[in-house]
């Protein structure tokens, strides 16, 4: 089981009316959120706890130190991060063992490729969120063409491409439909040819990034 902790709580409630989130990664807030999650999930331990965002207003050592304490208490198994840069990841790893990173990444949005490379080099899991981003910058036609060649769906092509990027990549597509779940799972068995991969690799050129907030 993996859950993400968004440093927020009181501060978030106070600012959400203004249309934004203010991060609150103070130790008391993080501990409180983990304890609440344990109660809601009715488990004694969260196997993978991902800090959803680093709070720039709280020392990183305090935030990760809290998660390390929770780990030492047996309430948390492994610790992960989300939306971090290579530098932030390196700083975090000086404080605590990091098992995973969850950054936005897909065929058309490779902004975090250096982070993926850092994860691959260190053997850490990289969990791309928003893993399926076909349909932007005229690229959908290219993906659809590869999909038609293979007799699969564009979503499956996008997921298969991610899985081919590195053995540390674990895409996390969200769905509320069983048929989409089955379709997405089947992408794991899809073999892309080198020619298809070349075609897909080139898609990011000129596509820019497709940012978004989690």
Ligand X SMILES: NC(=O)c1ccc[n+]([C@@H]2O[C@H](COP(=O)([O-])OP(=O)(O)OC[C@H]3O[C@@H](n4cnc5c(N)ncnc54)[C@H](OP(=O)(O)O)[C@@H]3O)[C@@H](O)[C@H]2O)c1
Catalog residues that contact ligand X under the rule CB under 6 A. Answer: 52, 82-83, 102, 129-132, 155, 172-177, 180, 183-184, 214
Choose between 74 and 208: whose C-beta lies nearer to ligand X: 208
How far is CA 153 from each of CA 19, 174, 184, 197, rounded to the nearest angstrom?
Answer: 36, 16, 9, 15
Nearer to ligand X, 25 or 173 (CB): 173
Closest alpha carbon to 118 in 168, 172, 75: 168
Distance (Å, whole) CA 208 – CA 157: 20
In which order are the strands placed within the sheet that holds 46-51?
A: 2-5, 46-51, 76-82, 100-102, 125-126
Residue 127 vs 195, nearer CB to ligand X? 127
Q: What is the DSSP letter of 189?
A: G
Task: State the minimum distance, in angstroms, from the CB of residue 167 to ligand X.
Answer: 20
Please state the closest distance from residue 172 (CB atom) to ligand X, in A. 4
Shortest reach from residue 154's CB to ligand X, in Å: 8
Q: Tokens at residue 160, please?
A: 């298969």
State the nearest-atom distance from the C-beta of 2 to ligand X, in Å: 9
> Least distance to ligand X from the beta carbon of 103, Å?
7
Taking CB positions, which residue lies at the least distance from ligand X? Answer: 214
Q: Name the token pair of 24.
A: 């609150």
When the beta carbons of 90 and 181 are compared against ligand X, the nearer one is 181
Helix 86-95, helix 113-122: angle, nearest 10? 30
């Amino acid at each position: 089981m993996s859950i993400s902790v968004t440093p927020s709580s009181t501060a978030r409630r106070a600012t959400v009316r203004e249309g934004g989130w203010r991060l609150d990664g103070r130790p008391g807030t993080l501990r409180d959120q983990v304890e609440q999650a344990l109660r809601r999930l009715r488990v004694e331990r969260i196997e993978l706890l991902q800090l959803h965002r680093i709070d720039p207003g709280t020392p990183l050592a305090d935030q990760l130190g809290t998660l390390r304490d929770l780990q030492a208490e047996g309430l948390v198994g492994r610790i992960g991060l989300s939306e971090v840069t290579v530098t932030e990841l390196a700083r975090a790893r000086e404080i605590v063992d990091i098992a995973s990173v969850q950054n936005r990444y897909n065929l058309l949005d490779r902004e975090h490729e250096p982070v993926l490379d850092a994860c691959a080099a260190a053997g850490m899991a990289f969990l791309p969120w928003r893993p399926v981003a076909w349909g932007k910058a005229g690229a959908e036609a290219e993906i659809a063409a590869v999909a038609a060649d293979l007799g699969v769906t564009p979503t499956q092509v996008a997921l298969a491409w991610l899985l081919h990027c590195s053995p540390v990549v674990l895409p996390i597509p969200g769905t509320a439909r069983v048929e989409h779940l089955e379709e997405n799972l089947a992408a794991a068995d899809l073999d892309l040819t080198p020619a298809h991969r070349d075609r897909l690799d080139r898609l990011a050129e000129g596509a820019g990034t497709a940012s978004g907030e989690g």
